[in-house]
Amino acid sequence: MSSFELEGLVNLINERVESNIKIMEVCGTHTQAIAKSGLCNMLDPRIQLISGPGCPVCVTTESYIDAAIELLLQPNIVIVTFGDMIRVTGSNKSLEDCMEMKSRIKVVYSPFAVLDIAESNNNMQIVFLAVGFETTAPLIAALIKMTIQRGLHNLFFLVGLKLMPPVLDKVLSSKDNRLDALICPGHVSVIMGSEYFSFVPEKYNIPAVISGFEYAEVAAAIYYLSEEVRKGKRNMRNLYTKCVKSQGNAIAKELMASVFQSKEGYWRGIGKIDGSELTLKKEYGAFDASKNFDLRIKNEYIAENCQCGEIIIGSKSPYQCSLFCKSCTPESPKGPCMVSSEGACAIFYKYKRRDLA
């Protein structure tokens, strides 16, 4: 779609909108596309776009970070993690603050790099910080099976994987956050399928769409949702058919189901959500860092100085946080939403997205 065609589509959306519409885009990558393209500023002000809980780093609890730091206090342990996790604070400090142990913190861009680290450091205990959603879970499951195949006995996983439907249930059932439509998380949909989110229109009587990540694809999703709201319809539509099938990726889902089971989970800034977290099944307990190193992860709701918790569930915009762009910046983040590249605050700061200002 050319810029001229995109402008025409946006004009059509604006011409046909009849009332205020509140649309949540769950995935941080969608938030990036909206902000980077300036789409948020092209739309009629009555169309309000809200960021949702689709940033895995942002919802990782303080207790999880504390547990990772506790592991570093043991001299024979190496922590392997994705880069965004380094700067997220726990109860008091982040992994980045543990500079005296920097040599035992390894940042990777692919989870499979941890296998080589474990093989080349067989005199150390390697712990991988396994965070993410359903998108990451099959990769972690495959990694655990490869650990067995390679005969590695020094590789462990601190699992912090979370599931999308339970948190969306919490968001959509909130009386303080009434949404008119939902752009479902695209990456999760690739793995789990479009049917995974069919509960949204069925249970909450609002339209939902699965979209790609190009700005034109997101614009098409907004057009579809605004038309559904205007016509009083409440359907689910998959507009990302090139990557998302009805039942998803069977191999990836089977991998995930073979290694993990769901349990009660804690979300940073949100609290306890039943059935929202993945844990290793009993037969894979030998790879569970929390059990093998006797970690006592005290999951509890901790009030933040910033408004990240409310921003994560879409009840507030980053611009409604008194710290945003003042004491809280990417160089000096006060909360996880400013740390991660998928966090709403970091995206708003970078692209000056002012549709919710």
**Cα–Cα distance measured from residue 120 to residue 131, given in angstroms and rounded to the nearest whole number:** 23
CB 20 within 8 Å of CB 178: no
pLDDT per position as a tens digit, 156-206: 999 999 999 999 999 999 877 789 999 999 999 999 999 999 999 999 999
Instruction: Give the mean pLDDT of 89-98.
Output: 89
Instruction: Give the mean pLDDT of 299-305.
Output: 61
Share of the chain above pLDDT 70, in %: 95
Q: Three-class SS string for the chain?
A: CCHHHHHHHHHHHHHHCCCCEEEEEEEHHHHHHHHHHCHHHHCCCCEEEEEEEECCCCCCCHHHHHHHHHHHCCCCEEEEECHHHHHCECCCCEHHHCHHHHHHEEECCCCCHHHHHHHHCCCCEEEEEEEECCCCHHHHHHHHHHHHHCCCCCEEEEEEEECHHHHHHHHHCCCCCCCCEEEECHHHHHHHCHHHHCHHHHHHCCCEEECCCCHHHHHHHHHHHHHHHHHCCCCEEECCCCCCCCCCCHHHHHHHHHHEEEEEEEECCCEEEEEEEEEECHHHHHHEHHHHCCCCCCCCCCCCCCCHHHHHCCCCCHHHCCCECCCEECCECCCHHHCCCCCHHHHHHHHCCCCCC
In this predicted structure, what is the pLDDT of residue 356? 44
Confirm or reject CATH 3.40.50.11740 for domain 62-163+248-267+278-292, answering yes or no.
yes
pLDDT per position as a tens digit, 217-270: 999 999 999 999 999 999 999 999 999 999 999 999 999 999 999 999 999 888
**Cα–Cα distance measured from residue 83 to residue 153, given in angstroms and rounded to the nearest whole number:** 25
Average model confidence (pLDDT) for the chain? Answer: 90
pLDDT of residue 1 exceeding 90, the answer is: no
CB 48 within 8 Å of CB 178: no
pLDDT per position as a tens digit, 97-154: 987 788 899 999 998 999 999 999 999 999 999 999 999 999 999 999 999 999 999 9
